[in-house]
């Protein structure tokens, strides 16, 4: 159902199902990896309304440290995560559905990748470690495109023909769009990803 890819290595898809909704895979020689791709193999989609919360676990100071990376889902079946900055002492450990699950001891050279199948609404409320995003350029471009598309569609619905043959949009409709968009961003900064 899932796979992992690290540059210069063969893909791994030997995730172990450790519970009804949890999957783990051990990745060797993690010290030499900067990015990791987690993907769905396409054999089985998530149930409707569900996705996979992706966690990274490494050994530090004799204990396992779990860090939430992000998500994969049917609409976004793969994701690239930057892990080079996660392997330091300064990263916060998060509570995960895996708990001490990695009961299997791992060496400091290896890591565990965990995927927890959860409702998308629960996953969207999680905050990934800031160091995990490889680049904000794609997210920014996607956000900008969705925002402008939303603006254009909204403003177009208020378009009026003027006597001189020009089309105009009343300023108050632009102000209303701006206030509405701002409010929606405050409630859920990722709302634009689903609309």
Of 172, 64, 66, which is closest to residue 126 (Cα–Cα)? 66
**50 and 121 both lie in a single domain:** yes
**82 and 163 both lie in a single domain:** no
* Domain enclosing residue 75, as ranges: 2-134
**Number of other residues whose CB lies within 10 A of the CB of residue 49:** 10
**65 and 115 both lie in a single domain:** yes
Single residue among 134, 151, 180 that ends a domain in this structure: 134
**Domains held by the chain: number:** 2
What pLDDT digit, counting tens, does each position of 20-58 carry? 999 999 998 888 888 899 999 989 999 999 999 999 988
**21 and 106 both lie in a single domain:** yes
Beta bridge partners of 39: 3, 78
What is the distance between the alpha carbons of residues 100 and 104, in angstroms, rounded to a whole number? 9
Whether the full predicted model's pTM is greater than 0.85, yes or no, is: no
Single residue among 92, 113, 134 that ends a domain in this structure: 134
Percent residues over pLDDT 70 in the chain: 82
137 versus 62: the higher-pLDDT residue is 62
What pLDDT digit, counting tens, does each position of 89-134 carry? 444 445 556 654 444 545 557 889 999 999 999 999 888 876 555 5
**122 and 146 both lie in a single domain:** no
65 versus 26: the higher-pLDDT residue is 26
**119 and 152 both lie in a single domain:** no
**64 and 13 both lie in a single domain:** yes
The pLDDT value recorded for residue 93 is 47
């Amino acid at each position: 159902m899932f796979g992992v890819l690290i540059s210069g290595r063969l893909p791994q898809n030997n995730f172990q199902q450790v519970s009804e909704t949890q999957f783990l895979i051990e990745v060797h020689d993690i010290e030499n990896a900067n990015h990791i791709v987690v993907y769905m193999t396409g054999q089985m989609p998530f149930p409707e309304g569900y996705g996979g919360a992706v966690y990274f676990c490494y050994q530090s100071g004799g204990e396992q440290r779990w860090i939430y990376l992000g998500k994969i889902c049917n609409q976004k079946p793969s994701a690239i995560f930057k892990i080079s900055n996660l392997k330091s002492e300064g990263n916060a450990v998060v509570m995960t559905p895996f708990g001490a699950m990695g009961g299997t001891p791992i060496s400091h050279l290896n890591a565990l990748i965990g995927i927890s199948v959860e409702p998308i609404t629960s996953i969207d409320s999680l905050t990934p470690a800031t160091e995990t995003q490889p680049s904000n350029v794609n997210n920014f471009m996607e956000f900008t495109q969705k925002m402008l598309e939303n603006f254009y569609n909204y403003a177009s619905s208020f378009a009026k023909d003027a006597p001189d043959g020009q089309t105009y949009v009343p300023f108050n409709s632009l102000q209303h769009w701006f206030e509405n968009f701002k409010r929606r961003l405050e409630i859920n900064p990722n709302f634009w990803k689903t609309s």
